[in-house]
Amino acid sequence: MNAAPNSSPPESASMAPYAVRGRWLAGIALAAAIVASAVGWIHPVIALPVIAILGTLIAVGYRVTAANGVAARTQALSVDSANAAAPAAAIVQAIPEAALLVDGQNRLVAGNVAAAALFGRLRTGEAISLTTRNPQILEALAKAASGETQNFEIEERVPVERSLDAHVAPIVFGHERPNLFLLVFRDRTQERRIEKMRVDFVANASHELRTPLASLSGFIDTLQGPAKDDPAAREKFLGIMGDQARRMARLIDDLMSLSRIELSLHLQPQTAIDLTGVADTACDLLAPLAKEQGVTIDIKKETARLDVRGDRDELLRVAENLIENALKYGASGKRVEVTLREEGDDALLSVRDFGPGIAPEHLPRLTERFYRVDVERSRTQGGTGLGLALVKHILARHRGRLTIESVPGEGAVFTARIPRAH
C-alpha cells in the first residue's frame, strides 16, 4: 500500500538520528584530544585547535538539531491546522443543527446552511461579531478559550421572537489553548410555542369548565339555604343549573372529539360519502333552531351527488357547526344559504349568512381553540369556542381546508373544500 505523502515523517525529523550520532562522535574525539594533550601524547599547539574545532562542531550541531526540532514541531502543527480546516468545514456542513466554526482569533472559519438561515449572510474569514452581535455568544467564546464547553439559552425578541439552545465547544489541535471553537444552535422556537399553546389550552379549558361549575355550586348553596322553601326560585334555578350542566357536557364532548381527531389526523378516511346527503341531514337537524331564530335555510345543489372520501359523522359535524354558527351569529340576516358544488378536483360546501359579518382582524384567529369575537355572545348561544377548531381539524384529516370570507355588515361565507372521490 502506498503511504500518503503527509504520512511520511518530516525531513528534519528523519535527519535527527544522524545529528545525534555526529554529536556523540565529536564529543568522544574532544574528550580523547583533551586526555591526549594532558598526558603529552600530542603537542598542545595541535591539541588546542582540535579541541576548539570539535567544541564548535558540537555547539553548532546542537543548535542545528534544536532548530530542526522546533521546525519539525511547527511544521507538524501547521500541517494539523491546515489539514483540520477543510474536513472540519465539511463536518460543520453535515451537522443538522445550525453550526459555526470559529478560530482562536474569533474569525469565522465555516458555517452551515442552517446557520446561514439563522444568522443571515455568513462572513467567513471575518470577525464573528460581523455574523452575530449577540453578547452571550461573544462572552461564551471568550470563556470557552479556557477550554471549558459553554451551554446557554438565547431568547430573542427582535427582529423575530425565537428561542435557541446554544453550545460552544473548544477544539484543541496540538496547542495548549483551543485554536478552534464549534458553536451549535438548536432552534427551540417551535417547541416553546407548542409548549405555550399546551399550557394556554389547559388554562383555557379549566377556566371554561370552572365557570359553569362555580355557578352550579352557587345555586346548590342557594337552594339549600335562602331559597329552600321557595318553589318558584327552585324551579328557575334548576333550569339554569340544567343549562350549565349541559354546557359542561358540550365542552367535554368537544374536547374529547378534538383529541380523538388529533390522534387520527394522519389517517385519511376512505369511505365514499355523498356530501349533498350530509348537508341535507345537517339542515334537517337544525330546522328547529332555524325556526327558533326566525331564519330560513336555502340549500342549493349544483350536482346531484358530490362524493368525497370521508367519515360521515365527522363531515356531518362540519356541516352542522357551520350552519349552526350562521344561524346563531348571522340570525339578523334572516337567511342562510348552503351551496354544494364542484371546483376542479374539490367538492365545496359553502355556508353563507347575511348577518353582521366578521371584522378582518378576527378572521385568521377564528379556528384557534376558544377564540371568540364576542365571548359573552358565544356563551349565551351555548358556544364552547371549539366548533371551528374542530371543523379545521376534521377537514385537515380529510386533506381539505376551510376558507372564511366576510364583509362586515354584509355577512360571512364559510367554505369547506375537500378533494372529490373519483
Question: Whose Cβ is closer to ligand ADP: residue 96's or residue 409's?
Answer: 409
Residue 127: name the closest of 147, 149, 100 by CA.
100
Tell me phi and psi for residue 173, to 5 degrees: -120, 90
Write down the least CB distance from residue 395 to ligand ADP, Å: 13
Distance of CA 222 to CAs 164, 235, 355, Å?
54, 12, 39
Residue (212 or 383) nearer to ligand ADP, CB: 383
Is residue 237 near ligand ADP by the rule CB under 6 A? no
Rounded to the nearest 10°, the torsion over CA 8, 10, 14, 17 is: -140
Comparing CB distances to ligand ADP, the nearer of 276 and 406 is 406
Largest pairwise CA distance in the chain: 144
To which residue does cell 464549534 refer?
182
Contact window for ligand ADP (CB under 6 A) among 52-60, 185-193, 318-326, 342-350? 318-326
Rounded to whole angstroms, how far apart are CA atoms 332 and 357? 10
Q: What does the alpha-carbon distance between residue 28 and residue 190 come to, in Å, rounded to a whole number?
A: 77
Select from 269, 333, 383, 400 the one that contacts ligand ADP (CB under 6 A). Answer: 383
CB of 254 to ligand ADP, least distance (A): 8
Residue found by looking up cell 363531515 in the block: 315
Taking CB under 6 A as the criterion, the residue among 178, 333, 355, 400 binding ligand ADP is: 355
Query: Residue 326, interface with ligand ADP (CB under 6 A)?
Result: yes
Binding test (CB under 6 A) with ligand ADP, winner from 170, 212, 387, 400: 387
Give yes or no for a contact between 266 and 398, defined as CB atoms under 8 angstroms apart.
no
Residue 335 to residues 169, 298, 318, 331, 332, Cα–Cα distance (Å): 67, 8, 19, 7, 8
Interaction between residue 333 and ligand ADP (CB under 6 A): no
- Check: CB of residue 358 under 8 Å from CB of residue 405: no
- Stretch of residues binding ligand ADP (CB under 6 A), selected from 37-45, 91-99, 143-151, 366-374: 366-374
Q: Which of residues 195 and 374 has its CB atom nearest to ligand ADP in the complex? A: 374
Q: CA-to-CA distance for 248 and 246, rounded, in angstroms?
A: 5
Is residue 257 a contact residue for ligand ADP (CB under 6 A)? no
Which one-letter DSSP state was computed for residue 157? -
- Which part of the chain contacts ligand ADP (CB under 6 A), choosing from 1-9, 101-109, 225-233, 326-334? 326-334
> Would you say 189 or 204 has its CB closer to ligand ADP?
204
Which ranges of 347-412 does DSSP label H, i.e. alpha helix? Answer: 375-380, 387-397
Q: Among 26, 366, 395, 418, which residue interacts with ligand ADP (rule: CB under 6 A)?
A: 366
Binding mask 78-117 for ligand ADP (x = CB under 6 A): ----------------------------------------
The residue within the footprint of ligand ADP, chosen from 26, 84, 388, 416 (CB under 6 A), is: 388
- Residues of this chain that interact with ligand ADP (CB under 6 A) are 321, 325-326, 329-330, 353, 355, 358, 366, 372-374, 378, 383-389, 412
